[in-house]
Amino acid sequence: MELGFLGLGQMGSAIAERLQDAGAQLHLFDPNKAALAPFIAKGALVHASPTGVADAARIVFACLPSGAVCEAVARDVAAGGAVRLYVEMSTIGGPAQAKVQAIVEKAGITLVDCPISGGPKGARAGTLTVILAGSPDARAEIRPWLERVGKNIFEVGDKPGQAQLMKLVNNLVNAANMATAFEALVLGAKGGLDPDQMVNVLNVSTGQNSATLTKVPKSVLTGSFDYGSSLTIMLKDVMLGLQEAEALGVPMWVHGTVGQLWRFAEQQGLGPADFTSMIKVLEGWAGVEVRSRG
């Protein structure tokens, strides 16, 4: 099966690797030549532009960093002669998704809205959560490939944009969980509590959440700050979620404050750092670190 894939960042490369290992003949484009090298070694074909990929494959997946990049790439894809299904795996929000949809559908290409959650580690393990919206026929055609990368696949509707909204709902909750968990753990550490024990108590009590279960033990207590996604990417998703809320007339008192905290952390120079590094801002204010004592 000839599949196209555009965007070999941390998430995209892991997803493309799963598709290639499942037997797909990959057609690739990414401006980063180093990212292409391991795929070339396993038989993937590299093209000079997204249009080249769209000239070679009926189904093209995209996993890109921003709405502006997605729109530019969609214009190139729309000029391709073979592509009929365009699977947008990027998290870009409803308005940008609508622009991409208009571009490709004008060229007779069906768009599938398909953001994913679970990080690069989940992508490599094939355990991603895949959120899917688009025509039933298109969803059915790509589902066998999505089952190669995702453990949980949720088909949320026939209208592209619905999957984007669901992904942003998830990421708003994720960002808020991290902010509140980090803040409370700093409080406990300042009062002399053992960080490891705090996390153990939380994870068998009502304070349990995704931050205390995975992010804090793996990347904060250890001081590695290597969970796998940048702080800027998290801030981007929070801002997209707040924009969706404003468009729908939904007040976001709590998440508005959460967004201010993430933006402040980026302004302190932490944007390129792992998103778990946000706790360093709170630690700095309190004059304490949340690290294992062992």
Distance CA 54, CA 76 (A): 8
Q: Identify the three-state secondary structure at position 199.
A: helix
Active site residue 167: yes
User: Per the residue annotation, which of 151, 167, 218, 280 is the catalytic one?
Assistant: 167
Rg (CA), the chain: 20
Query: What tokens appear for 89 in the block?
Result: 């795996």
Do the beta carbons of residue 132 and residue 155 sit within 8 Å? yes
Strands 128-133 and 116-117: antiparallel
Query: What tokens appear for 211 in the block?
Result: 């931050």
Query: What tokens appear for 173 in the block?
Result: 């909750």
Do the beta carbons of residue 87 and residue 5 sit within 8 Å? no
Distance CA 11, CA 197 (A): 32
Distance CA 36, CA 21 (A): 15
Q: Identify the three-state secondary structure at position 38.
A: helix
What residue spans of 126-230 are helical by DSSP H? Answer: 136-146, 162-190, 195-202, 210
Burial 66-86 (b: 16+ CB within 10 A, else e): ebebbbebbebbbebeebbbb
State the catalytic residues: 167
